[in-house]
Structures are given as structure tokens and as C-alpha cells.
Amino acid sequence: MIRWTKLLVLFAWLLLIAKLLTMPSPHVPAAVAFAGNDKFAHFLLFGGLVFFLIETIEAWMSWHYRALVAVTLAVCYAYASLLEYFQGFIPGRSVSSLDTLAAMLGSVLAIVIVYWLDFSEIRKPKLLLHICCIGCGAYLVSVLKREYRVTLYFFNPNIAPEAEYHRRLAESRKIARKLGVKLIVGKYRHDDWLDSVKGHEAQPERGSRCIICYRERLVAAARMAKQLHCRYFGTTLTISPHKSAPAISQLGNEAAKEFGVRFLDRDWKKQDGYKKSVCLSRELGLYRQDYCGCEFSIRH
């Protein structure tokens, strides 16, 4: 939905530019005819076009920033040149290379503002990080933000009761805002999850029930990463001392291969990762549950 909204906004901006820059001269608004000409209008309108183009392309594609800059500037130049050509047929308007130059100066300045003012951040690849709770997620976000542009994915149909699910989700939303990262929430279908683990209810922690649960969430994360054009996806699951890191590694890489993305294969328990996550949770005053998530894990 967000991608289509950005595409519609971009289309609307293109129409606005065409409308304002192809009006017959007597009908040009004063704001457009700044200082007796429309050079400033070209500068501002195409600067805005850069922003909307980048937002839209990034929503649909996963390109290196250099390719994105090149395509954005090429589109701006082509559109500015096309409008200048049509101005030759409009009463009171004329073809001017200075108008095209003003449009490209606005485009280049916008590129500088969008990219080079935060150059190191733009160069980072996108990572979708599956979280089961924000207690572990907060620590990993603080670590991963140094190397990646992180988006959180809360997909946990295993969590029960439902009140526990919403409590963990509320904490995740609060900390995502605090840390300045986007949070995507998957659908909560606990009944479907129960069907998937039917016959494995009595299995202990790390048993077959957990393997099924790992697989379901990792496949969903890999699928979402592909939809969002994230180069990588990962999970906080391995930070728990109760989870099988080798099993998660295997399942994560299988899901990555299936959807054509890369799995960030890390055992976050290493180097006191779990202890560090607990310490940060206490500092932030986060809720930490005393069981994995499903009703069966409460018994063990």
C-alpha cells in the first residue's frame, strides 16, 4: 500500500510540474513567474521531483545509491527537456536551455541534500530484522545500525495468550519509535500456528515443535525482505540461550535461497550478547517475558 501511495504522489508531482510549466504565459501564477521568469520554479519543482523519485524507486527496487542517483538525474533531465520542447508550441512561452539548466541545478542540489548530507547512512544495505520481542531487538538494533539500514519485522503467531502478544507488540512499537527504526507487523494467526505444530505439543524446547516455529517465522521474514527489496534479513532468535543456533542457521539459509535474499547468519549469544541485551533492557525499562512465547513453552 505504501509503495502504491508513493507512486501516486510521484505521478501527481509530475502532473503538477507539467501543469505549471506548460501554461500560456499570461496565465502563469506569480509564484511560478518568480522575478519575472520561471527559472526559480524549475529549480524548486525539479528539486522536489528528486525527492519523490528516490522515495518511489527505493520503495520498489533495491538499487545501489550510485545507480539510483544516475537514474534520478537522467529522468529529471529527460522530463525537463521534454517540457521545454512542448513550451515551443505554447503561446507566450519559448524554449530555453536556461530553464533546463535551472531544473538540473535544483535536481543536483536535492541529490546533495538527500544523499551526501548523510552519505555513510545511504551506503548501508537494507536489513529486515525479525524480532520476537524488543528486549532482544533493542540491543541488536543498536549493533546493526552501524552497518545496515534496519527495519524491524514483528511476526510471531506462536505467542500466547493474545494479551501477551499485544504486550510485546506495544513494547516493540514504543522502542522502534525511540530508536528511529521502522516496524512492520505481520498478521497474528495463532490458530493457524497451532495447526502447524499439531502433534508436537509435548516436545521440549529446541524439539520438533520449535523447528517448525523457527521455519515458519524465518520463511515469513525472507518473503517480507524480498517484498521490501531488502538485501538481507536476520532474526533475534539466536540471542536466546534456549534456541538452537545451528537449526536457525540452516533454516534461515534455506529460506534465503528460496526467496533470493541473504540471511544474516549470526549467533548473537556469542560475546555475551544475551547478557548485554538484558542490561540494555533494564536501562530502557523494557518488559522481559519469562517464557519463549507459546503456551507449550510455559510448561517447560
For 190-238, how does the pLDDT look when each residue is reduced to its tens digit (9 = 90+)? 999 999 999 998 888 878 999 999 999 999 999 999 988 888 999 999 9
Q: Which residue has the higher pLDDT, 201 or 249?
A: 249
∠ CA 96-102-106, nearest 5°, is: 155
Q: How far is CA 235 from the centre of its chain?
A: 16
* Weakest mean pLDDT among 121-135, 140-154, 269-283: 269-283
Task: Report the mean per-residue pLDDT for the chain.
Answer: 84
Instruction: Return the axis-axis angle of helices 134-144 and 273-284, rounded to nearest 10°.
Output: 110
% of the chain surpassing 90 pLDDT: 42
Range from 33-37, 117-121, 281-285 that averages highest in pLDDT: 281-285
Which cell goes with 40? Answer: 526559480
Q: Which residue has the higher pLDDT, 165 or 273?
A: 165
Helix residue ranges per DSSP H, 89-207 = 97-114, 119-122, 134-144, 162-179, 190-196
pLDDT over 70 at 34, yes or no: no
**Cβ-proximal residues to 252 (8 Å cutoff; 6+ apart), any chain:** 218, 222, 233, 234, 235, 263, 265
Q: Which residue has the higher pLDDT, 118 or 287?
A: 287
| Spatial distance between the Cα atoms of 89 and 85, rounded to a whole number of angstroms | 8
Q: pLDDT band at 1, cuts 50/70/90? A: low
Q: What is the amino acid identity at position 79?
A: Y
Q: pLDDT band at 30, cuts 50/70/90? A: very low
% of the chain surpassing 70 pLDDT: 84
Closest CA to 232 of 214, 256, 213: 256
Backbone angles phi, psi at 214, to 5 degrees: -55, -50
pLDDT (0 to 100) of residue 135: 67
pLDDT over 60 at 28, yes or no: no
| Spatial distance between the Cα atoms of 74 and 124, rounded to a whole number of angstroms | 23
| Spatial distance between the Cα atoms of 281 and 275, rounded to a whole number of angstroms | 10
pLDDT tens per residue, range 140-189: 888 898 888 899 999 999 999 999 899 889 888 888 888 888 899 999 99
CB burial of 75-107 (b: ≥16 within 10 Å; e: otherwise) equals bbeebbeebbeebeeeeebeebeebbebbbebb
Closest CA to 233 of 79, 89, 98, 128: 128
Which cell goes with 294? Answer: 507459546
Q: Quick one: average pLDDT of 130-138? A: 78
pLDDT over 60 at 129, yes or no: yes
Q: pLDDT band at 2, cuts 50/70/90? A: low
pLDDT (0 to 100) of residue 216: 97
E strand map for the chain: 126-131, 149-154, 182-185, 232-235, 262-263
Quick check: helix, strand or coil at residue 152? strand
Closest CA to 127 of 220, 3, 214, 228: 228
pLDDT over 60 at 26, yes or no: no
pLDDT (0 to 100) of residue 199: 93
pLDDT tens per residue, range 89-126: 877 677 788 889 999 999 999 988 876 665 445 567 88
pLDDT (0 to 100) of residue 63: 67
